[in-house]
Amino acid sequence: MMFNEVNVTSVLKGKRVVVTGGGRDFGQAVSVWLAREGAHVDLCARQLASVEATCEIIRREGGIARGYLCDMSDARSVSDFATQLLQDNQPVDILILSAAQWLEGHLGEGDHDADIVSTVNSGITGSILLTKALLPSLRQSQGADIVAMVSVCGIPQFTESVAHPAFFAAKHAISGFSQNLAHHVCDHPTPQLPH
């Protein structure tokens, strides 16, 4: 298979996947890979140019992508994004929570309160709100899954990063949220994709 060829035999073919933070870096790479595997990708990012760039890569390779503006640190923006996603009658099969505003440095050394709030909100609050809004759609899927990108900053005892403590806190929070959600979702059967 060529690198930019859609894999027509993939287990992801035809699945509807939502990716937060899909406009650049890891989120963009995941979005492009998913499309190469035949998934229909709905991605969001804070900047229109980033959304358009990722969608263009996917479409140029023959994949299917829709891009949306969404600031995961803003509850209204998350709500608007969810509303747009739910207008489609096809259920969401996979939700990938990849968005998190990067912040580096040490606490109290040139950091601004607004940046700290935005980092925490984009990394955890927005993810919780979007998951809550999309959970009914995920429950309609025959193979639903929720994937939270925790990063090494969410690993207990890990300190080898220039990331700000607020970024560490957001990543630890998304890890805890995911663990708790897994137990809750198990109480309400939702088929899971094989890992």
* Per-residue confidence in pLDDT tens, the chain, 195 aa: 445 666 767 889 999 999 999 999 999 999 999 999 999 999 999 999 999 999 999 999 999 999 999 999 999 999 999 999 999 889 999 999 999 888 888 898 989 999 999 999 999 999 999 999 999 999 999 889 999 988 776 777 777 888 898 888 899 899 999 999 988 776 554 444 433
pTM: 0.88
What is each CA distance from 182 to 18, 39, 70, 189, in whole angstroms?
18, 23, 25, 11
Give the residue among 182, 183, 97, 73 at the shortest CA–CA distance from 148: 97
Integer Cα distance of 12 and 194 in angstroms: 11
Question: What is the predicted pLDDT for the residue at 193?
Answer: 40
DSSP state letters, 45-79: ESSHHHHHHHHHHHHHTT-EEEEEE--TT-HHHHH
Whole-angstrom distance, CA of residue 37 vs CA of residue 22: 16
Q: In what order do the strands lie in the sheet with 94-97?
A: 64-69, 40-45, 16-19, 94-97, 145-148
- Write down the CATH superfamily of domain 16-105+112-185: NAD(P)-binding Rossmann-like Domain (3.40.50.720)
Q: Where are the domains of the chain?
A: 16-105+112-185
